[in-house]
Chains A and B, each alone.
Chain A
């Protein structure tokens, strides 16, 4: 969900649907193009998580200050997470609850994926275009 700059409320409460559509369309155009060109490193703002977890954010419209968090595995696989509006007034994502929630969820997911790969429960397909194995996660479980 995106947030309104001035009042920091959910965007859907502040603006009409056409603005939200515009944002989604922009992001979708980028994602469709990535599907053709590949998830090149420079299309993403890197190092949005901890070292080695692959967490990044998709660059979108330069003036929008939106963060759409993803986990990138090479140029072939991108796991899209959530995100939100990052106000200019904050420097760290942790200062915004919504961004923190979305970002930390992906940090945990990335760690889980790494663990499952290490346990041989999950692997890349031979063409590296997908995952093969158990991809059901329940992050709130103690498993």
Chain B
């Protein structure tokens, strides 16, 4: 007996899947990952679903909806969950520092020497505020 399952690939389904944009897929995946994060935090805190619903004055069905990965959370709900579960769901930091570790500028010139020239003067290079450290190299 052949134990292998028959594989059938529907051309219509294939086309539908191919037409899903990475952005759309990303939105769905993000919602589901968020739900997992919340579900894990509820578990970590030692609550059952019903117990948690009672604690935050919500219906059990609403918690199920949140955890189903289909829900489009409002900012208020995320803040509520963040505070109740001690997890980070919203990043509202304004002065977040971006660390750029390496900047390579390749300058080709006949007039200036290859090494030891003043790149600031040459390019009027202004260090952006969000760059903490940088290095320049010439090849």
Q: Which A residues are closer than 8 A to B by beta carbons?
A: 21, 24-25, 28-30, 32-34, 36-37, 40, 42-43, 45, 59-62, 133-136
Contact = CB atoms under 8 A, between A and B. Distances in A.
The 6 closest A-B pairs by CB, nearest first: A59-B68, A42-B67, A29-B28, A33-B29, A33-B32, A42-B39
Contact of A29 (B24, B68, B71): B24
Nearest to B71: A62
Contacts of B68: 42-43, 59, 62
Contacts of B17: 28, 32
- Interface residues of chain A: helix, strand, loop or mixed (majority): helix
B70 A62 contact: yes
B25 interface: yes
Interface residues of B, number: 25
B13 to A, nearest CB: 7
A40 B32 CA distance: 9
A43 B35 contact: yes
Contacts of B71: 62
Interface string B82-96: 000000000000000
Contacts of B28: 29-30, 32-33
Given A42-B39, A136-B1, A25 B70 contact: no
Given A42-B67, A135-B3, A136-B3, A30 B32 contact: yes
A40 B5 CA distance: 25
B34 to A, nearest CB: 11
Nearest to A33: B29
Interface in B10-39: 13, 16-17, 19-20, 24-25, 28-29, 32-33, 35-36, 39
B24 to A, nearest CB: 6
B70 A59 contact: yes
Contacts of B57: none
A61 B71 CA distance: 8
A32 B32 contact: no
A62 B31 CA distance: 13
B2 interface: yes
A34 B39 CA distance: 15
Nearest to A59: B68
